[in-house]
Structure 1
Amino acid sequence: MRRSCAATIGTLLCAMAFAMAGCRSVPVAGAATAGCDPGDVAMTRDILYFGRHRPDGGTVDDAQWRTFVDDVLTPRFPDGLTIVSGTGQWRGGDGAIEREPSEVVTILHTGDATARRAIEEVIVEYKRRFAQESVLRERGTTCVRF
């Protein structure tokens, strides 16, 4: 993704709904759980948007994406994550609307320094490996129950 991309609301809702299925319940380090219902756990949710168009006109193909997931994402987040395919859209510097296939990855984690560093490593590696200008990251605290 050269700038940013957005997925449809349905895609985001699916990503959030399925993200909880593959993660263990671990409280967010230092997070207040007062806003969560009894039985819920406060966690950090990072949603990453990976555009699959490359600046040279090519695309990140399915095999390259799978290798990235296997070699970069999974080792850093072995407890689980959710991947939803979508179509991103953004306005380029020339004013034209750009559309590209995208992968939306939702990861629930503790929010500690190790997890935040792992998120940054994933972003840096995707940009390096596929000559991307950016990867959109969305972060928030949420209440989850498994």
Structure 2
Amino acid sequence: MVCLSVMLSACAATAKQACAPGEQRIVSDMVYFGTARPTGTVAPEEWDDFLRTEVTPRFAQGFTVWRANGQWRTADGSIVREASYVLSLVHPDDEASDAAVGAIRERYRARFEQESTLRVRHAACASF
């Protein structure tokens, strides 16, 4: 319990640190999208269309994507290894951006029959 308290206080201290002059507080999200589906895999053309129709309208200011290979445990306990995509989004820490990330994840799950996507969110400072 003491270890958890120390870890949580360290997280709180990190989140309250001020940004350097010329920087602004932002959120850095990385969202992981698997490509295996019950009827095959998500084709590169389908991924490109998803980026064009779902991601770009929500994050027109920009984003970064790369291909990856991953592994995860499904709800039934089996291990799945699959090709995946990682989407990196840098955005303001506001409700609209948070809702946009949630909508992208939900649209991907529904469109490509996915059990889940993974979102990793970090507070950070950025300058442009």
**TM-score bracket relative to the smaller structure:** 0.7 to 0.9
Match of residue 27 from structure 1: none
- Match runs of 1:1-146 below 5 Å: 34-54=17-37, 56-92=38-74, 96-146=78-128
Q: 1:102 Cα deviation (Å)?
A: 0.6
Contact 1:84 1:103 in 2 (8 A): yes
SS of 2:41's partner is coil
Contact 1:33 1:42 in 2 (8 A): no
TM-score by length of 2: 0.81
Spell out structure 1 runs of 4+ moving beyond 6 A: none
Could you report, residue by residue, the CA deviation over 1:57-113 in whole angstroms, capped at 9, with x for unpaired residues?
400000100000000000000000000110011234565532101100010111211
Distance 2:123 2:117 in 1: 20
The change in CA–CA distance for 1:101 and 1:86 in structure 2 (over 3 A counts) is: same
Q: How many residues align?
A: 114
Q: What's the C-alpha RMSD, in Å, of the aligned pairs?
A: 1.7
Q: 1:34 Cα deviation (Å)?
A: 4.3
TM-score by length of 1: 0.72
SS of 1:142's partner is strand
Q: 1:35 Cα deviation (Å)?
A: 2.6
Distance 1:125 1:134 in 2: 11
The change in CA–CA distance for 1:53 and 1:80 in structure 2 (over 3 A counts) is: same
Structure with greater strand share of residues: 2
Distance 2:77 2:16 in 1: 44
Distance 1:95 1:68 in 2: 29
Structure 1 unmatched runs, 5+: 1-31
The change in CA–CA distance for 1:52 and 1:126 in structure 2 (over 3 A counts) is: same
SS of 2:114's partner is coil
